[in-house]
Amino acid sequence: MTAPVGGLSHVRGDTGPRLRRETVSGLLARAVRKWPDRPAAVFADAGVGWNWRELDVQVERLAAGLLSLGLYRGDRVGIWSPNRPEWLVAQFATARLGLILVNINPAYRLSELEYALNKVGCAALITAVRFKSSDYLGMLRELAPELAKDAPGRLNARRLPALRSVIQMGDSEQPGMFRYHTIMARGRQAYRSRLEGLEARLKQSDPINIQFTSGTTGTPKGATLTHRNIVNNGHFTGRAMGLTEQDRLCIPVPLYHCFGMVLGNLAATAHGACMVFPGEAFEARQTLATLSRERCTAVHGVPTMFHAMVEHPEFGKFDLSSLRTGIMSGAPCPVSLMQRVMRDMHASEITIAYGMTETAPVSFQTSITDPVSRRTGTVGRVQPHAEVKIIDEAGQTVPVGTEGELCTRGYLVMQGYWGDPERTAESIDAEGWMHTGDLGRFDTEGYANIIGRVKDMVIRGGENIYPAEIEEFLRRHPDIADVQVFGIPDPKYGEELCAWIVPRGGAKLSAESVRAFCTDQIAHFKIPRHVHTVAEFPMTVTGKARKVEMRAAMMQELGLSEDRTA
């Protein structure tokens, strides 16, 4: 059942399709049995390609090598790397041993890395040598100067007390570190013969992955996900796209995020589709070229990625006629962009998905058979075996059509935040509902609209304003390529609206012309008082605009402080 009952905003997903009972490693084993000689993974930039049998060989070797280091079920192993072949292998190799893979943001710097490793007590770290301007090995040596004298596997670092082994992906020997290929070579038969017995002891309810989520305040929280969470979410999202072993799924989104490792890797593995990685990080032309050359049938991305591709000056040179589906998610998707992706990129069956890391991640998704109006104007309906309600500030379920906070319950809700029972209790109530912090609304058929974040809501002179609504309106302006709206302190109204705008094709936009475009079209209190044009927004690695940075920059420019609000 996916439609609300009794006029209230409470829906339950279809329970017809069964929940899968495999572990992450069991999911791979099934793919190897069913499609051993079909292509499994292509790393286009690295020139690496494996079928399912070959991928399994890589996974077995690394799993045995990790076992040789004395790593056992429940130990935490960090991975700090952009999209590389080693990342994919590590995802499945750690799962074979029941090790908990800890995804570390490739953009992290010293203090963030130190916090992440210590928060969950990583016993080992698999790391790239560098990424863009980040010297990973240099940062590790600064955090753990003991690497210079301690033998590999026997690190005893004052600032990283749990860390024993560092495995680096480079070819040269580094003091105190193992080479990735050395660990692969250590996976001798004696260790490989133990894998099957160890794997048989794993349970679907075991934690298998930790992903750090960052809010606007406080330290990052380690969302702890189980086999059951991510195996089923990958399966159902792939099912919504109609993935089969004939598909080739392009994954330019980062693997450290659920979008890459669950909606990409696990969705493909569940249905036998080939995973295609254009490069270590998203680059519009490289992704377009890979889509064309590899004849991809599906592609994932956040709206800013799709925007960069369709606006690329060489867009017309690439043959994208093989494209059919994929997922656009991670941020509100402008209707106009969705229409261009469906028409100009030939992804006529592209889907929209909504969720959060704590729900493994997807709770809503459009289907390839939904009417175009639903796939451009909503985030779809609730996923199978998920339950969602929308509540008001008093915790009461609101009528259909009324805005409120989305709460999710079911197999997809995380186990909790690692080592943080207080913040877990703040997010998951006694009845198992995950309070998302997102504002949503249902229609009578159970399709959902996401209005924005509860905390993003701007209150101007007593009026509640949702930035996503204003952003969608401003994107209709022919000279606006993209826009972000947020609130800043104001002594008279408490908060005032600010819009950061990226002009289209070098167009000149004034604050007056933008406000004139809004006049008589939206309510006066929704018209941004401050308008700022920029070449690009500050972004996270996952392609989300960082409104926190924009707000801070605007406040500094205007000489504002929090205590000036009234």
Q: What's the pLDDT score for residue 214?
A: 64
User: Both tokens of residue 559?
Assistant: 């000489």
Mean pLDDT of 506-533: 91
Across the chain, mean pLDDT equals 93
pLDDT at 129 over 90: yes
pLDDT band at 373 (very low <50, low <70, confident <90, very high): confident
**d(C-alpha 392, C-alpha 227), whole Å:** 33
Mean pLDDT of 224-249: 98
pLDDT at 221 over 60: yes
pLDDT for 313-347, tens place per residue?
Answer: 999 999 999 999 999 997 777 788 899 999 999 99
Residue predicted with more confidence, 198 or 494: 198
**d(C-alpha 525, C-alpha 213), whole Å:** 33
Q: Is 392 helix (H, G, I), strand (E, B) or coil?
A: coil
Q: Please list, in sequence order, all residues whose beta carbon lies within 8 angstroms of the beta carbon of residue 407, skipping any fewer than 6 positions away.
A: 388, 389, 390, 391, 429, 433, 434, 435, 436
The class of domain 458-564 in CATH terms is alpha beta
Query: Is the four-CA dihedral 468, 349, 230, 88 of positive or negative sign?
Result: negative
3-state secondary structure 181-231: HHHHHHCCHHHHHHHHHHHHCCCCCCEEEEEEECCCCCCCEEEEEEHHHHH
**d(C-alpha 439, C-alpha 334), whole Å:** 17
pLDDT for 281-292, tens place per residue?
Answer: 999 999 999 999
Residue with tokens 């996976």: 187
| pLDDT cut 90: percent of the chain above it | 80
Mean pLDDT of 496-515: 93
Q: What's the pLDDT score for residue 467?
A: 87
Q: What's the pLDDT score for residue 457?
A: 77
pLDDT at 561 over 80: no
Mean pLDDT of 156-185: 97
Mean pLDDT of 148-174: 98
**Can you give the pTM of this predicted structure?**
0.86
Of 17-31, 161-175, 406-420, 505-519, the poorest mean pLDDT is in 505-519
Q: What's the pLDDT score for residue 451?
A: 81
Q: Is 143 helix (H, G, I), strand (E, B) or coil?
A: helix
- The hierarchical CATH code for the domain 24-32+52-204 is 3.40.50.980
| pLDDT cut 70: percent of the chain above it | 98
Query: Is the four-CA dihedral 83, 89, 90, 95 of positive or negative sign?
Result: positive
Max Cα distance, the chain (Å): 75
Q: What's the pLDDT score for residue 566?
A: 24
**d(C-alpha 199, C-alpha 263), whole Å:** 24
Q: What's the pLDDT score for residue 264?
A: 98
Q: What's the pLDDT score for residue 124?
A: 98
- Give bridge partners of residue 127 from the DSSP assignment: 80, 168
Across the beta sheet with 298-301, what order do the strands follow?
A: 48-51, 39-43, 274-277, 248-250, 298-301, 325-328, 349-355, 362-365, 381-382
pLDDT at 494 over 90: no
**d(C-alpha 88, C-alpha 48), whole Å:** 12
pLDDT for 440-470, tens place per residue?
Answer: 999 999 999 988 777 787 878 767 787 888 8
pLDDT for 43-100, tens place per residue?
Answer: 999 999 999 999 999 999 999 999 999 999 999 999 999 999 999 999 999 999 999 9
| Pair 86, 15: CB distance under 8 Å | no
Residue predicted with more confidence, 218 or 122: 122
pLDDT band at 12 (very low <50, low <70, confident <90, very high): very high
Highest mean pLDDT among 236-245, 302-311, 475-484, 499-508: 236-245
User: Both tokens of residue 529?
Assistant: 């008082």
Q: What's the pLDDT score for residue 1?
A: 54
Domain residues of the chain, as ranges? 24-32+52-204, 458-564
pLDDT at 183 over 80: yes
**d(C-alpha 375, C-alpha 318), whole Å:** 25
pLDDT band at 170 (very low <50, low <70, confident <90, very high): very high
Backbone phi and psi for residue 225, each to the nearest 5 degrees, phi listed first: -115, 145
Q: Please list, in sequence order, all residues whose beta carbon lies within 8 angstroms of the beta carbon of residue 178, skipping any fewer than 6 positions away.
A: 152, 153, 165, 166, 167, 168
**d(C-alpha 337, C-alpha 170), whole Å:** 40
pLDDT band at 520 (very low <50, low <70, confident <90, very high): confident
pLDDT at 13 over 80: yes
